[in-house]
């Protein structure tokens, strides 16, 4: 019996996969527990429509990430930090501070976990970080660290 899985079933298959299950297994387990539906013409059409909608959403998210990435790459953030002795910062500039600066200066909300620094920012000057906006979109963020007055 051909069925479309509605959820991941361990040892059987992944969500939205069409499988050939034993009649008894499908009738007594998969269908009553709403883990699968029969793979008839109506359900196949529904699945295709849902996939088209999901693909359109993914494409929209990708395009939005590219647009946000262009905004981030165009601008250099200016972050003021307290200066300690020997020209070093009093503490470090963190991902959280970079995310707040992006929100304030560019107007875009970015999760601090998506910003990666190659090394902690402990000195004044121009620094770079990588912002991963989407699985396919990563941009370089430029930040200028200046002394707070």
Angle at 13 between CA 9 and CA 16, to 5 degrees: 95
CATH 3.10.430.100 in the chain is located at 65-147
Q: What is the mean pLDDT of residues 101-129?
A: 91
What's the CA gap between 90 and 83, in Å, rounded? 5
What's the CA gap between 77 and 138, in Å, rounded? 17
Q: Is domain 2-63 in CATH 3.90.1170.10, yes or no?
A: no
pLDDT score, position 148: 83
Contact indicator for 18, 43 with CB cutoff of 8 Å: no
Assessment of whether the complete model's pTM goes beyond 0.75:
no
CATH 3.40.5.10 in the chain is located at 2-63
Architecture of domain 65-147: Roll (3.10)
Which strands sit side by side in the sheet containing 36-38, from one edge to the other?
18-20, 2-5, 36-38
């Amino acid at each position: 019996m051909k069925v479309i899985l509605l959820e991941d079933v361990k040892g059987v298959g992944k969500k939205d996969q069409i499988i050939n299950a034993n009649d008894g297994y499908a009738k007594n387990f998969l269908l009553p527990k709403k883990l699968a539906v029969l793979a008839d013409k109506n359900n196949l059409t529904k699945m295709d429509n849902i996939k088209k909608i999901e693909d359109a959403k993914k494409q929209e998210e990708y395009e939005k990430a590219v647009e946000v990435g262009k905004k981030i790459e165009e601008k250099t953030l200016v972050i003021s930090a307290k200066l300690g002795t020997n020209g070093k910062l009093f503490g470090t500039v963190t991902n959280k501070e970079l995310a707040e600066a992006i929100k304030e200066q560019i107007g875009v909300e970015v999760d601090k976990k998506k910003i990666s620094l190659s090394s902690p920012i402990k000195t004044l000057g121009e620094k770079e970080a990588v912002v991963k906006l989407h699985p396919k979109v990563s941009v370089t963020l430029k930040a200028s660290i200046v002394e707070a007055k």
